[in-house]
Amino acid sequence: MRAHLARVDAVLVQAVIAAALSFAHLHDVASVAGQDGWKAWAYPISVDLLLVAAWRRLRSGEAKTAGWCWFLIALAASLGANIATAGLLDLDHVPAWLRILVAGWPAVAFLGGTLLAHSPPASHHETSDALDGETSEEIEGQEDAVLDLAPELPAPPAVDPVPIPATPTPPVAVPTALVEHARKVAAEHHARTGTAIDTPTLRARLGVPPPMADAIAAQL
């Protein structure tokens, strides 16, 4: 427990020291660039607040592109002030471009803070559409899983078609005189050829339709 507290205390002390040094460097650069009095103290506060706002946007997970953009801008301002006080620039004769950057910083910081603080959240309609899409995908996935787990049903047995009985043909009524005439024709045919007359020949000799010829042949 004490080792954990010692590590936390060391981190906090290091953070406080770094913040104080960066704060002082930003104040010194703003002061030599013509921003005297309370304005020189406001510059480091502005830079640090923009860093915090950008970091919070990155932690929230929304509009990370804007968060990274303004985080890098604020980090460049802080890092630039630290480098400027390292002797690379003659702070007794501040160049014009540094004065321009320091004078234009309030507008940049105001724009960044406003955009980070008031960016519109995801609309309810978009959120509902996203949830509906996810719900539909989950339902389709569950249906597919159920179909995969469902056992295959056996094919129904083949049913033989029921035969339709043939309609019996009603008997053909043959007149008695026609039967007697057919007997004479059959006797004549037998006497001439020596064989019994067949049905096609009988039908041709009598000139009757096939059903009637069959009925006459059955009575001979």
> Around Cβ 31, how many Cβ atoms within 10 Å?
17
Q: 187-215 pLDDT, tens per residue?
A: 887 888 888 878 888 778 777 778 777 87
Q: What is the mean pLDDT of the chain?
A: 75
Which range is least confidently modeled, 8-12, 13-17, 80-84, 145-149? 145-149
Q: What is the pLDDT of residue 123?
A: 46
Residue 95 in 3-state DSSP? coil
Q: Which of 77 and 4 is assigned the larger pLDDT? A: 77
Alpha carbons 127 and 121: distance in angstroms, whole number? 10
Mean pLDDT of 32-60: 85
Q: What is the pLDDT of residue 67?
A: 84
Confidence grade of residue 25 (pLDDT, cut at 50, 70, 90) = confident
- Alpha-carbon distances, residue 32 vs 22, 84, 151, 218 (angstroms): 16, 11, 83, 141
Encoded amino acid at 29, one letter: V
Alpha carbons 11 and 24: distance in angstroms, whole number? 20
**Tokens 């007697």, located at residue:** 180
Q: 153-167 pLDDT, tens per residue?
A: 566 666 666 666 666
- Nearest-CA neighbor of 26 among 18, 14, 52, 69? 18
Please state the φ and ψ torsions of residue 209, each to the nearest 5 degrees.
-70, 160
- The 10 Å CB-count burial string (b at 16+, else e) for 173-190 is ebeeeeeeebeebbeebe
The tokens for 70 are 């303004």
**Structure pTM?**
0.46
Q: 70-111 pLDDT, tens per residue?
A: 889 988 888 888 888 877 777 778 788 888 888 888 888 888
Please state the φ and ψ torsions of residue 69, each to the nearest 5 degrees.
-60, -50
